[in-house]
Each structure stands twice: as C-alpha cells, then as structure tokens.
A and B are shown apart, each in its own frame.
Chain A
Amino acid sequence: MQIPSSIVSLTSRAVSESMDVNVMTHVAKDIIDGYDLFQRTGFRESMVVPQKDAANQIVRDMARSGKFFYFISLLIQMHTAGYKGRIYPIKYLKDIVKMINEECGFIYDMENNLFVEDPAVRRTRNWGAFLEGRDYNLSFLRLDIVGNSQLVRKYPDNLIQATYADLRKIVEKAIDKRNGRIWNWEGDGGLIAFYFANKSHLATMSGMEIINELFVYNALHCRLEEPLKVRVAVHAGMCQYTESVADLLKNDVIKETVQIESKYTRPNSMTISNTVGSKLDASILEGFETLMIDNRLKFYAYSVSMEQ
C-alpha cells in the first residue's frame, strides 16, 4: 500500500525528534532483519549519520517494505509501554494515527496492537494487518452444505446457484457485523476467520445466527423442495498466515476445524470445540448439547428444531 508522503514526512519528523540514531536503528533491525543504516544511507561506517537523515531513510524503508503500520504500532508501544525498559515519548503520534485513519482507512486496534482496515472503508481477507509467515491466534468457522452432490444432480443449475447465493448472503450478514472474514468459499461452503475482540464468542454467535437464519429461510423462502441443510464447526488456535489459500488450509488448526465439521457435526447443527467452549460463558453453553467424543475430547452442539 502506498503511504501518503504527508504521513511519511510527519513520521520522519516524529522519529528524528523523539529518539537518537542508535535507538531508531535498533527498532529498524527489529522489524527488518539485518537492516543496515549505513548501506541504506550511503554514509561510511566511520561517519555519524545525522539524526534527520537516519529517520528519513528508516521511515521511507518501512513504507517501501510494506511494514509501515507495523513500525507505527511499535512507536505506539514505545510511547505507552516502553522499549527495552524505557519509555520514549513520540511526538505527533496522535496526528499520525489520525492521518492514517483519515487518509489510509486504517484504525489502530489497541488490544492486538496493530493497525487494521476500517470495515466501513474496505474489507480484505487479512484485515489489512497480517504479515506473511507470522503466527496469529484466530477462531475459525467452517460451513459445509449437506448433500451438495445430490442437490446438484437433483435440481437445475440456476435453482442451485440462487439457493447457494441465498446461503452466502445469510453467512455474510452473520459474519460481517462480527468482523469475520471469508478466507475460502467454494460452491458448497467455506471457511471464515475471526481475529478481534472475543473471537471465539464472535465465531460462535455467527454460527448460531447462521443456523437460526437457515431455520427461518427453510420455513419461508427455501427454493428447493426440501430444507437446505448445513454443518457448521467452530474451533480456535494458532495459524501461520500466508497469502496462498492452499498453504493456509494446511494449518493444523484449520484441518482440525474441517474434521470437526465433517466427522462430528450433525446436519443443520453447529459443533464447537472445547477450546472455543472454554472461552464462552456457562449460560451460553446451557443451550448446547455436550458431545463426549472420547475420555478427553469434548465438543458442544447447537441446533434448532421444532416439536413434532
């Protein structure tokens, strides 16, 4: 992403007025492995790089490498929590954060200490925040249409397409308001990731809403001669982020989520793992059925049905 020159310029000023060359070099090395200020500026190692030149170079390099927001979040940390045992008051920090919000459409998330895209401005798969190859703690919701192959064979293509589009709308409505992102969507289902706030709670609430809305949809609007059924699973864990969907799906936590959905989930119900269940209030779990998979493994199931 191109960082506007006004923000780069103000940040350079802030860095040069808030720390010496030695500290700013350390910070740069924390972000870019093997960062060499002399090589970047062209100054000989026997010379002292002027503070202003060093700040200009480092900030420009951060912007060029795509790590500018990460750099700013580190400056916020230095300002609030400190860096290597010392607080560094950073000048113009409020102005920089405000400009990033107004000119780039990114907001600072204090809980996770990173900049994320403002959902009102844009929605990308990684919230505009994840870096390639880094590990993140996420919650996942996996959804799959039950009996997709039979449905595709039984009904005309346009009917199936319209029905699946209806389902996608239900899913999008449930996850968008809870800041979830679709990481993968195939014809018959998909994978949704949640990162912010109480992510396990949000993923579970999204799953409940999908099951509930599908109940209403089947009662009133379903285009097929039979109810549309899905299986939903929610699980959480560490995941290494990559732009490649194929590689993303190789993460253990995602494989486990898929397994919970396909092996342990009944049609038209949601199964949540114990990892997720442990993050929820007891009153929420009261509405769930406990599934003992074995002596150690416990899941919880949620479904909506009607008295016979």
Chain B
Amino acid sequence: MKIAVFSNTKNIEKSFAGAVKGKKHTLQVSPASELKKSSKSVPRGSLIYADLSSFKKTEVPQVIKLLAKLEGIPFGIMDPKGAVADVADLFHNGASDYLDAALLKKGVDQKRIDRILDFKNIEVVDEKLTAAKKNYILSGPDWKNIKQGQEYTFYFLFIELDNKNALKGLAPELQSDITETFRRYVEETIAPMNGRIWMWMNFGGLVLFPYNGKQCDVIEAALRLMVNRKLMSAESIQLDINLSYRIAMHVGNTVYKSKGDTGSIVSDSINSVFHLGQKYTEPNNFFLTDDIFMLIPSRLMNYYVPAGEYEGRNIFRLKHIL
C-alpha cells in the first residue's frame, strides 16, 4: 500500500522508515503545496498524511476539508508543533490518525499502518455493502429456483488462458484438446461450489454462481484455480507448456437465459466483468471488484491488495502465488 506524505519538513521520511521497512508499504513524500493537486490522483486504498506545520494556519481548515472529501482514501494528520487544539475534532472530520512531535520522533511502524487500514476497511465496506445489497436479487444457494428470463444477482467469474499465441501455433486438434481439457478442469473445480460455465469461447469463458446474499464462499473455487495452475498443467495438459490464465470476479445482476441462448442479454455486470478480465486483469493474476471484495470471508482480505480503479470500481488483486 502506498503512504503519501505531504510535508516540507526536512528528513520527514525518517519518521516512516519503520512503516516501509517490511516492504509491505511504500512511501512517497511530496511538498505540502502539491496536496490539492496530487491528492486526487492518489490511488484508492492509499493512506495520506498531511503535515499541518507545512501549511499556513489559515489553510489548515481547508486542508482538513479537502482530505475529508477524498472517498476511499484514509488520512492522517501530522502536527509536530502541537498546533491542533482539539484533536477529537480531526477524527470527527474523518481523520484516521494523529501524529504529534513525540510520535513523529519515535517513528510510525507497520503495525500502526495496518491497524488504520483494517479499521477503515471495515468501516468503508459496511457502508458500501448495505448500499449494494439494496439492488441485489437473491438467486438462492443453488440453481433450483432460477428461472429462464428472470433477473437475478450472480457471482461472475471470468477466466481466460494467457497462452493464446503459443496455443494458436499448435495443430488445431492439439489446440482443441488442450482448450477442452482446460474447460473440463474449470468445470470440475467450480462444480462443488454450484458454479456453471455459462459462456465459453476458445480460450476461456464466464462462470456463474448463484448468489444467496451471504458471504462469498465461492471465492474458494477461484483461489483453488489459481493455486493449482502448475498441477493442472502437469497432470491434465501433459505438454511442455505451463498454462497460465487470468481470473476476474464481480457480483451483479443479469437476466438468466440458458447456455447458448445468451446473445440477446444486455447486462452492465457482464460487460464489466468481461472488460475487467480482458482489458485490465494482468496475465496470471486474479482481480476482483470491490463489490465482491466486500463479500469475501474476512480471513481472506489480507490475501488481496488494491490494484487501482477501473470503470468506476475499486479493484483488488490476489497477491501473487509463488
């Protein structure tokens, strides 16, 4: 995660040396004058610190107001000169941290940053989740009650092979054997979680999971697909190719029509997951939207890192599996 510090204080980076020591977080120090311009381009999921001693006294209320307006970006206040009379007021205005002279001298460590992020994550997620759930139409825990032509909320999983060029160079029969084996492998992995392949092209497709309004347990299938890449290549493909694929997940609504009869469906959610998978997700990676990130089991949240914003949604990336 990126820690963006706006300060004119000399050697201010020393106060954050402990926070970036473990390489989990990165630090960017900019002059205080750039706060207004740069704060808007700071990626979501970052943490901003503003050094009040680098601003004129009259500018301070505007600085707080500006920071409070940044959606999805927590902020902290640095106050080496003890200029803030009412610290609680800062927190009432949305601040997540306050560093006085003593704390700046002692230095900020990684644990402190992690605590702030955990706290803010829960807060932001709860609000967004409540708003998002208003639009969801439960499709149930399985496929029993899903009817043709009706609109439901589904978990969407887009999956596509990255090795398209290598595969296109193979004999057509061999290419089709590999892609068919891959399709079967996806099918077998998603089946225990009630997943079904809904659309399938040559090198990948779209999987649907019914949405029951509860925690997103189906994430297990996607995690398993990512973990088993080497095993799948070694056992199912048995060629000198280590297959690599990308996965994108999203949750949203669509009218349900049976496989093969999907040509006329117009759905923002389907467009979004295809765009995310084909245009934004990097090869050999698993990206998901914040709509689904809010629903994954909490013990998995640390497995993901912010990956910027795409088509108006915050995106998270599964940390690389090595």
Binding site for B on A (CB under 8 A): 205, 208-209, 212-213, 215-216, 219-220, 281-284, 286-287, 304-308
Interchain CB contact under 8 A, A281 and B238? yes
Most buried by B among A213, A283, A308: A283
| Number of residues of chain B lying within 8 A (CB) of chain A | 26
* Chain B residues near A220 (CB-CB < 8 A): 220, 223, 297, 299-300
Is B106 among interface residues, defined by CB-CB distance under 8 A? no
- Say yes or no: A308-B240 contact (C-beta < 8 A), given A215-B227, A220-B300: no
Interchain CB contact under 8 A, B321 and A306? yes
Closest CB in chain A relative to B223 CB, distance in Å: 6
- Say yes or no: A208-B231 contact (C-beta < 8 A), given A220-B300, A283-B241, A308-B22: yes
Partner of B303, one of A212, A213, A219, A286: A219
- Say yes or no: A307-B231 contact (C-beta < 8 A), given A219-B299, A283-B242, A287-B242: no
- Say yes or no: A205-B300 contact (C-beta < 8 A), given A216-B223, A283-B240, A283-B241: no
Interchain CB contact under 8 A, A305 and B227? no
Partner of A304, one of B227, B235, B238: B227
Closest CB in chain A relative to B90 CB, distance in Å: 32
* Chain B residues near A209 (CB-CB < 8 A): 228, 231
* Chain B residues near A283 (CB-CB < 8 A): 233-234, 239-242
Partner of A307, one of B230, B234, B320: B320
Interchain CB contact under 8 A, A219 and B223? yes
Interchain CB contact under 8 A, B299 and A304? no
Question: How many Å lie between the Cα of A212 and that of B228 in the bound state?
Answer: 7
* Chain B residues near A212 (CB-CB < 8 A): 224, 227-228, 231
Most buried by A among B220, B234, B299, B303: B234
Question: How many Å lie between the Cα of A287 and that of B300 in the bound state?
Answer: 25
Is B57 among interface residues, defined by CB-CB distance under 8 A? no
Closest CB in chain B relative to A205 CB, distance in Å: 5
Closest CB in chain B relative to A208 CB, distance in Å: 5
Interchain CB contact under 8 A, A208 and B234? yes
Interchain CB contact under 8 A, A216 and B233? no
Closest CB in chain B relative to A18 CB, distance in Å: 41
Is B23 among interface residues, defined by CB-CB distance under 8 A? yes
Q: Contact string, B208-228, partner A, CB cutoff 8 A, digits 1/0?
A: 000000000000100110011
Interchain CB contact under 8 A, B299 and A306? no
25 A-B pairs within 8 Å (CB atoms) are namely A205-B231, A205-B235, A208-B230, A209-B228, A212-B224, A212-B228, A213-B224, A215-B227, A219-B299, A281-B240, A282-B240, A283-B233, A283-B234, A283-B241, A284-B234, A286-B242, A287-B230, A304-B227, A304-B321, A306-B319, A306-B320, A307-B322, A308-B22, A308-B23, A308-B24
Partner of A205, one of B22, B234, B239, B321: B234
